[in-house]
Amino acid sequence: MDPILNPYAPGAGTPPPELAGRDALLESVRIAIERARRGLPAKSVLMVGLRGVGKTVLLDRMRDEAEGADVHTVRIEAPERRSLPALLAPQLRQALLRLSRNEQARDLAQRALRALAGFVGALKVKYEDIEVGLDFDPEPGLADNGDLEHDLQALLETVGAAAAQAGTALVMFVDELQYVKEAELAALITALHRCAQRRLPVALVGAGLPQLRGQMGEAKSYAERLFDFPEVGPLSPEAATLAIAKPALDQGVAFEAAAVDRIVAETRGYPYFLQEWGKHAWDAAAASPITLDDVRAASASALAALDESFFRVRFDRLTPTEKRYLRAMADLGPGPHRSGDIADRLGRKVTSLAPTRNQLIAKGMIWSPSHGDTAFTVPLFDAFMKRIMPGDDWRD
C-alpha cells in the first residue's frame, strides 16, 4: 500500500495516531493539576516505566492539555551531564515573563524574576553550566544563599505566589528524571514539599525509568507521601488491538484478526514496537485487508529496523565489559536475574562486577526491581543481545 499514507509513527516521543489505553492516567493528572491550581491538596505525579512504553508521549499530551486549560508550564528533559538548576532557570524565566503580562500578577512575577536573578548569581560558581538571560537585578536576601536546597525552595515559593495571584498554576514537566543527581532531586523535593504546605500552585509531572521510585526515596524519605508513582507498562491486548487497528481503519484499511493478534503477541503490547510493526505491516501489504502473511513478512523488517535504531543506539554506548554483562543477562532470559547468576555466567565474583552493574544502571540500561535482582530497562533487549552477539565468543 501507499507508504506516503502510512499512519503509524515509530519514533522517540513521536505521538502515535491513536493514544490507546491511557485515558485514566491522563485524567488523574488533569485532576491533580486542577486541584493544585485551586490551592487544594494534590500530589505531584512521576510516571515510571521501561523504554518504549510512551512516557514522553504522555508527558507532552499532559502538557498540551494543561496549557489548553491556561496553566503555565515548563518542559525539560534531563540529560546525563546537565545540572537541574541549569535546566530549570531558562524555562522558569520564560514562564515568569509570561506571568508578568498578567496585570494582577505582574508585581509578584517581577519579584520572582528578581529571585531567579539571585538564584542564578549565587549558584553560578557551583553550577557552571547555568546560562540564562536576566531581566531584573537580584533582590538581596531572596534565593541568593548559594545553597541549592534553600534557594530553590525560596524561588519556587515566589513563583507559586505569582501563579496563585494570576489564578493559574506552574507545572514543571520533566522527562528522564532518573538522570538528575541525588542532591538536586532532594532540593526539588524539598521545594515542592514547601509549596504543598503553603498550598501554592506549583507541581511536578515527571517521567523516568523504574529506578526513579527508589531514587526519590533515597533523596528524601518522605517523597513517597509527596508523589504518586503510576507505572506505565505495555498496553492491554484490547488497547494494543485498538492502537493497531484504528489508525488503519481511519484510512479505510482493515486488518485480519489473526494479523492483529500476531502483532500484539510479537510486540508484547509495548507502544513503540506496536508502531514499528504497524508501519512495516502496512508497507508489506499489497491491499486491504492486511493479512497474517503480511505481518509475518513485516516482522523481519521491523526487527531489522529496531536493531539498527532503537536497540543499536543504546548498544553503541556500552563498553566491551558492559556488553558482556548484558549478554550474560540475555543468556539467562528476559529477567529479572539474580546478580549471582549473572556472575556465574561470566565466571566472575559478584563483587568484582559491581562497578560494571553500577555503570549500566547509571546509563539507564538496567535497574534493580529488588535487592540483588537485575533487569533490562529496554523491552526485548535480551533477544537483541543474542542477535548482535551470537554464539559463545562473548565469554572471552
Residue extents of the structural domains in the chain: 23-228, 235-313, 317-395
pLDDT in tens, 191-240: 999 999 999 999 999 999 999 999 999 999 999 889 999 999 999 999 99
Average pLDDT over residues 16-20: 93
- Residues above pLDDT 70, as percent of the chain: 100
Same fold, 23-228 and 317-395: no
pLDDT band at 315 (very low <50, low <70, confident <90, very high): very high
**For residue 35, which of 231, 228, 222 has the smallest C-alpha distance?**
228
Q: What is the pLDDT of residue 195?
A: 96
Please tell me the pTM assigned to this model: 0.92
Average pLDDT over residues 253-278: 96
Residues forming a β-bridge with 45: 205, 228
HEC string of 287-346 equals CCCECHHHHHHHHHHHHHHHHHHHHHHHHCCCCHHHHHHHHHHHHHCCCCEEHHHHHHHH
Q: What is the pLDDT of residue 385?
A: 95
Instruction: Please check the confidence at residue 11 and state whether its pLDDT lies above 90.
Output: no
pLDDT band at 342 (very low <50, low <70, confident <90, very high): very high
Helix (H) and strand (E) counts in the chain? 17, 8
Residues forming a β-bridge with 46: 206
* Residue 17 buriedness (CB in 10 A; 0-12 / 13-18 / 19+): middle
Instruction: Please check the confidence at residue 396 and state whether its pLDDT lies above 80.
Output: no
Kindly state the cell numbers that stand for 48: 515510571
Alpha carbons 204 and 108: distance in angstroms, whole number:
21
Please, what CATH class does the domain formed by 317-395 belong to?
mainly alpha
Domain 23-228 annotated CATH 3.40.1350.10? no
Residues 6+ apart with CB under 8 A from 343: 349, 350, 352, 353
Higher per-residue pLDDT: 180 or 128 = 180
Strand locations in the chain (E): 44-48, 72-77, 170-175, 202-208, 227-228, 337-338, 366-367, 373-376
Q: What is the pLDDT of residue 263?
A: 97
Rounded to the nearest angstrom, the gap between the alpha carbon of residue 108 and the centroid of all alpha carbons in its chain is 32
pLDDT band at 133 (very low <50, low <70, confident <90, very high): confident
The topology under which CATH files domain 235-313 is Helicase, Ruva Protein; domain 3 (1.10.8)
pLDDT in tens, 316-330: 999 999 999 999 999
Alpha carbons 306 and 54: distance in angstroms, whole number:
16
Kindly state the cell numbers that stand for 65: 492539555
Alpha carbons 143 and 39: distance in angstroms, whole number:
23
- Residues above pLDDT 90, as percent of the chain: 90
Whether the CB-CB separation of 49 and 232 falls below 8 Å is answered with: yes
Length of the chain: 396
For residue 289, say if its preceding peptide bond is cis, omega within 30 degrees of 0: yes
pLDDT in tens, 86-104: 999 999 999 999 999 999 9
